[in-house]
């Protein structure tokens, strides 16, 4: 049960990373497609174990669970990548709600894996994640993220 608290941190670290990897192309897409592309980039950054890419996907004023901010999310991702040799995030079906041309919400389920192929947390619990996105200076960036056990 000790690793239960690690999984929400992986969720937070995962969401921002996907954003940076496709930010250059996102301004040419409709908001829903751009947000989906950013989530794909976040998953790719997690798979690549790139904490800087995770950080770069976050808005300057990013806020996550328990007040986690951008710098803390970057440090958390870096720490997880050092601790777990094979960190990976599996994002389930994504529902995107476009609020206006520069704001959107994406909801999805997430399962993180790590260590030597074991599930994180040990219980293998899936989380329901809600993320808020904003189009800032030509890029869709993650402004907030929250999660709760899905099962």
What pLDDT is recorded for position 122?
45
What pLDDT is recorded for position 123?
43
Tokens read off for 41: 């980039």
What pLDDT is recorded for position 3?
46
Residues 6+ apart with CB under 8 A from 71: none
What pLDDT is recorded for position 68?
94
What pLDDT is recorded for position 55?
96
d(CA 124, CA 116): 14
Domains contained in the chain, CATH given: 2-149 (3.10.450.50)
Residue spans of alpha helices (H) in the chain: 6-21, 23-26, 31-48, 51-56, 70-83
Is residue 103 within 8 A of residue 43, CB to CB? The reply is no
d(CA 98, CA 33): 10
The predicted-structure confidence for 57-96, as pLDDT tens digits, reads as follows 999 999 999 999 999 999 999 998 888 777 777 888 999 9
pTM for the model stands at: 0.75
Is residue 70 within 8 A of residue 60, CB to CB? The reply is yes
d(CA 18, CA 37): 8
What pLDDT is recorded for position 92?
87
In 10 A of CB 110, how many CB atoms? 22
What pLDDT is recorded for position 11?
52
- In the predicted model, residues of the chain with pLDDT beneath 70 are 1-29, 113-125
What pLDDT is recorded for position 14?
55
- What are 103's strand-pairing partners? 100, 134
d(CA 96, CA 24): 20
């Amino acid at each position: 049960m000790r690793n239960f608290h690690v999984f929400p941190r992986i969720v937070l670290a995962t969401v921002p990373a996907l954003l940076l990897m496709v930010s250059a192309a996102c301004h040419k897409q409709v908001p829903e497609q751009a947000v989906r592309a950013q989530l794909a980039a976040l998953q790719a950054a997690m798979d690549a174990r790139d904490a800087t890419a995770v950080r770069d996907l976050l808005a300057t004023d990013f806020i996550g669970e328990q007040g986690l901010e951008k710098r803390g999310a970057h440090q958390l991702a870096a720490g997880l990548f050092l601790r777990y040799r094979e960190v990976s995030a599996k994002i389930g079906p994504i529902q995107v709600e476009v609020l206006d041309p520069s704001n959107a919400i994406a909801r999805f389920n997430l399962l993180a894996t790590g260590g030597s192929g074991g599930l994180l947390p040990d219980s293998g619990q899936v989380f329901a994640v809600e993320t808020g996105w904003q189009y800032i200076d030509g890029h869709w960036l993650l402004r907030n993220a929250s999660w709760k056990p899905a099962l």
